[in-house]
Structure 1
Amino acid sequence: MRPLIALACGLLLGVPTSLTAQRNTGKKQRNVIFILTDDHRFDYMGFTGKVPWLETPNMDRLAAEGAYLPNAFVTTSLCSPSRASILTGMFSHTHTIVDNQAPNPGNLTYFPQYLQEAGYQTAFLGKWHMSSHTDEPRPGFDHWESFFGQGVYYNPTLNINGERIEYKDSTYITDLLTEHAVDWLESRDKDKPFFLYLSHKAVHAEFQPARRHKGRYAGKKIELPPTYEQTKTGAWRDLKWPEWVADQRVSWHGVDYMYHSNIDMQELVQAYCETLLGVDDSVGAVLEYLEEEGLDEETLVIYMGDNGFSWGEHGLIDKRHFYEESVKVPLLVRCPELFEGGQVPQDMVQNIDIGPTVLAEAGVAQPDDMPGVSFIPILTGDKDATKRDKIFYEYYWENDFPMTPTVFGMRTDKYKYIRYHGIWDRNELYDLENDPHEMYNLIGDPEKQEVIQTMLDSLYNWLETTDGMKIPLKSTDRPRWGDYRHKGEY
């Protein structure tokens, strides 16, 4: 049982005080495999055609035999907050894991805990990176394999159910996790439904492909985005972009000083895509196992990224901001028994929908503290399917990466509104239908002021009704500039 103080906090947040899962006894308890990747951009897969030379046959298969949801978004484009939103079904300001350092408040329930109560056997393998950097087993999983923090690509140490095991001989983390995931599937209790959470380190920087893939894309180049040059030429001023965006060009997350190095962006993209190939092999191995066991028709397979990634848009790399390539993630869903393949629905979904989707397919009632919805009805053609007409976004300023300010935003199919907090700069409004590259900031357009006011009202209404009007500051041990000033080290 959770501590009384945690239960009290749960009552305030509307969190159930009991983990007893409410079952729909008439619902089949479907097996589910959830595959999560790190920093995988929504359109960097072979079938999208975004990168003509990128080959991802197994992801292509997921899309062809299932569905590709091109309008899948995270609520916060950063590892820990996004992963917390996936596991709790909550917004960042509600679960309060707002950055990569923020601790778990102690009152959170992860949706696999409800699956356990409903008779599922559950397993987590891979990168946790949420609320702390330890590798200790977390609630909700019968089988646990993880590593400290970001982990390493080669020769990792895994905490397997409390025992740390070192791997040598150039063991590659993506392959190792996949092998162990399949081993767990093979050794599971065949009389119980299962939920597997396979969480890859890839494709997080510093990108390191498997040896068999290294050099595959040497010399290949991507087409630079339309907004690549504007912060260099000064055109951003006429386009009414915020000054902080232009200032980032020569920074850790800018194209002229990426990760404080002089490496060419095209070389980074090549390494990124080569690293992604190992993940595609992993998807293939999982699908192959399901076929061999005769489970491929009935098992729900979900592939998703924890946040997007910029490759030169607005002169930026990486994530955190609310531009499309940062906030959009790949979302592939396959289950032939449930719905026909080849679907590309344009409906907006978010990472807070993962928990409700899995619980619905397990026949478990959705807890009141989860504002998301299952997206399966969209794929099955249910006329009563809940569909979003807007999504919300939040990002909180980080001491480690002070270049990006606190961001709140709202997006509809037509417009995107971005509002900054704690910085003297412009806000942003983009007409996504006519300006998909988010080049022309319309924040000062007299004809758009009513649209801006309506979106601002919706944004604040969202924050007010979800207990989001207070920035959840967290005490951390990170150094401040003042800590160095007296030492002459800054």
Structure 2
Amino acid sequence: MTALLSNRKSERNAVRISLPTLRTILLSIFLLPFFHCLSAQSKKKPRNIIFILTDDHRYDYMGFTGKVPWLETPNMDRLASEGAYLPNAFVTTSLCSPSRASILTGQFSHTHTIVDNQAPNPGNLTYFPQYLQKAGYQTSFFGKWHMGSHTDEPRPGFDHWESFFGQGVYYNPQLNINGERIQYKDSTYITDLLTEHAVDWLKNRKKDKPFFMYLSHKAVHAEFQPARRHKGKYKEKQIQLPPTYDQTKTGAWRDLKWPEWVAKQRVSWHGVDYMYHSNIDMQELVQAYCETLLGVDESVGKVMNYLESEGLDDSTLIIYMGDNGFSWGEHGLIDKRHFYEESVKVPLLVRCPDLFSGGIEPNAMVQNIDIAPTILAEAGVKQPQEMPGVSFVPILTGENPAGNRNEIYYEYYWENDFPMTPTMFGMRTDKYKYIRYQGIWDRNELYDLENDPNEMYNLIGDPSKQDTIKSMLKSLYTWLETTSGMQIPLKSMDRPSFGDFKHRGEY
């Protein structure tokens, strides 16, 4: 600096060099308010979001899929035609409580440790609506919680709360509304009641705040009970039995290399020859299931109609999903828990015309652990590190149509109350599915999904597939190791006796 002051030429050069910098500084000072305003205008506005969850809704049991030609679901059809249907949506565990916990926490079952329908909340979980509350959202919950315990008490993350004990009942329910229990009578139907209350909350919400609503239906869980107006609508209707229905009866399962536990399940609680320990006809169960689903479809329509009446239908993100799939005779099984397609796949419908054009059906794989990241992203909330999922909105907008997943992983832990299904871990790609069983002396499974979509021919012993099996096994254990899943989270607790299940409605 002393040399510059003593040398005029250098001083003039120094001044000349600094003038552009001075101009930049002055320009920045004058334009700073403008840029601040521009930045504020371009900042993403928190989006109103509605999440609708159903129980045991199979991924392809909707009118527009054509799976059941006589099934009518006009409002779900509308969600698909004006939005998106993701046919490759999966849960990480096909069971109510573990799946619901994965949705709410964005974590795998072995991470949140709610591994079955009896396991309690460990006390250290954060639900994604809690992040929405902190971001200024008004939040509400309506319906079945059934995760972490059977109590109906209000849970963190919700400004407004309406729920019931455990599985609940279809008719004349009791609701815990913000801590006050109210008993409903006169044949009040649970699907209609929850919908009515949900729409009322939307009408009376604070208009100056974004909203998130979680509408969680009891339907279509067994024992299936439709609304009276729908009862008998599908009487005498029949579904086509799946190609794998009779193999465990004829003995063909041995030639197809199926595990023995699958064959033995045929005459069990989850088998087609002794369903729920009764002799009811499966077709009659399917009829009641589809009739019960009609009330859910009407619920979707009423929510959409309200949004349309308020001019919110284009800007609101609606996500419709099932908590797990459901088998109707595949491999001689009913219900869920196993890793076959109809059990692990769930319906996933998404609509938001402001975000993406409707009528799309992307093949990308998504999982229930992606729900929380998707909702948080659209709310402008940073995704917590403990959530391994990703937002699936880029799949819908075309920004990343193939998605982020080349595979999905699965886990299910043996239940004391339902010992027929063993602990299992699995991996699925677009091409193959690998299933590995734990704690039983039985055969593992590998299916070529491209050439065998019905999962009929187990290729686990095929010499040409051994490199594929080794690679998938390595990937499976790498996933478990890197996500702290190399242990079975055992739970010590009192459980209801098996004979109490039908009475308590917890099966």
Q: TM-score, normalised by structure 2?
A: 0.89
Letter in 2 for 1:258: M
Is 1:306 the counterpart of 2:311? The answer is no
**Of 456, 472, 477, the match for 2:489:** 472
What aligned pairs does 1:129-278 form with structure 2 within 5 A after superposition?
Answer: 129-278=146-295
The residue aligned with 1:376 is: 393
Q: Which deviations, in whole Å up to 9, do the C-alpha atoms of 1:115-174 show, x marking residues without a partner?
A: 000000000000000010000000000000000000000000000000000000000000
**How far did residue 480 of structure 1 move?**
8.1
Q: Which deviations, in whole Å up to 9, do the C-alpha atoms of 1:263-291 show, x marking residues without a partner?
A: 00000000000000000000000000000
For the Cα contact (< 8 Å) 1:39–1:307, is it kept in 2?
yes
CA pair 372-24 structure 1, distance change in 2 beyond 3 A:
farther
For the Cα contact (< 8 Å) 1:24–1:363, is it kept in 2?
no
**How far did residue 26 of structure 1 move?**
1.7
The residue aligned with 1:100 is: 117
For the Cα contact (< 8 Å) 1:127–1:201, is it kept in 2?
yes
Q: Distance in 1 between matches of 2:401 and 2:428?
A: 23
CA pair 384-229 structure 1, distance change in 2 beyond 3 A:
closer
Q: Distance in 1 between matches of 2:467 and 2:368?
A: 30
For the Cα contact (< 8 Å) 2:55–2:322, is it kept in 1?
yes
For the Cα contact (< 8 Å) 2:364–2:402, is it kept in 1?
no
Q: Which deviations, in whole Å up to 9, do the C-alpha atoms of 1:316-367 show, x marking residues without a partner?
A: 0000000000000000000000000000000000000000000000000000
For the Cα contact (< 8 Å) 2:364–2:403, is it kept in 1?
no
Letter in 2 for 1:392: Y
CA pair 479-200 structure 1, distance change in 2 beyond 3 A:
closer
Is 1:73 the counterpart of 2:93? The answer is no
The residue aligned with 2:72 is: 55
For the Cα contact (< 8 Å) 1:64–1:341, is it kept in 2?
yes
Q: Which runs of 5+ in 1 are unaligned?
A: 1-22, 482-490
Q: Distance in 1 between matches of 2:211 and 2:497?
A: 45
Is 1:437 the counterpart of 2:454? The answer is yes
For the Cα contact (< 8 Å) 1:66–1:334, is it kept in 2?
yes
The residue aligned with 2:131 is: 114
Where 2:202 maps in the other structure, the secondary structure is helix
Q: Which has the larger radius of gyration?
A: 2
CA pair 239-363 structure 1, distance change in 2 beyond 3 A:
same
Is 1:41 the counterpart of 2:58? The answer is yes
What aligned pairs does 1:346-365 form with structure 2 within 5 A after superposition?
Answer: 346-365=363-382
**How far did residue 27 of structure 1 move?**
1.7
The residue aligned with 1:366 is: 383
Where 2:175 maps in the other structure, the secondary structure is strand
CA pair 327-385 structure 1, distance change in 2 beyond 3 A:
closer
The residue aligned with 2:424 is: 407
Q: Distance in 2 between matches of 1:377 and 1:188?
A: 30
The residue aligned with 2:142 is: 125
**How far did residue 478 of structure 1 move?**
2.1
Q: Which runs of 5+ in 2 are unaligned?
A: 1-39, 499-507
CA pair 384-254 structure 1, distance change in 2 beyond 3 A:
closer
**Of 336, 342, 350, the match for 1:325:** 342
CA pair 135-383 structure 1, distance change in 2 beyond 3 A:
closer
Letter in 2 for 1:231: T
Q: Which deviations, in whole Å up to 9, do the C-alpha atoms of 1:69-126 show, x marking residues without a partner?
A: 0000000000000000000000000000000000111100000000000000000000
The residue aligned with 1:487 is: none
Q: Distance in 1 between matches of 2:309 and 2:64?
A: 25
CA pair 64-480 structure 1, distance change in 2 beyond 3 A:
closer
For the Cα contact (< 8 Å) 1:377–1:385, is it kept in 2?
no
For the Cα contact (< 8 Å) 2:365–2:403, is it kept in 1?
no
Q: TM-score, normalised by structure 1?
A: 0.93
**How far did residue 479 of structure 1 move?**
6.4
Pairwise CA RMSD of aligned residues? Answer: 1.3
Q: Distance in 2 between matches of 1:440 and 1:254?
A: 20
CA pair 413-278 structure 1, distance change in 2 beyond 3 A:
same
What aligned pairs does 1:278-293 form with structure 2 within 5 A after superposition?
Answer: 278-293=295-310
Letter in 2 for 1:111: F
For the Cα contact (< 8 Å) 1:113–1:139, is it kept in 2?
yes
Q: Distance in 1 between matches of 2:422 and 2:401?
A: 39
Q: After the TM superposition, list the runs of 4 or more consecutive aligned residues in structure 1 that deviate by more than 3 angstroms.
A: 383-386
Where 2:123 maps in the other structure, the secondary structure is coil
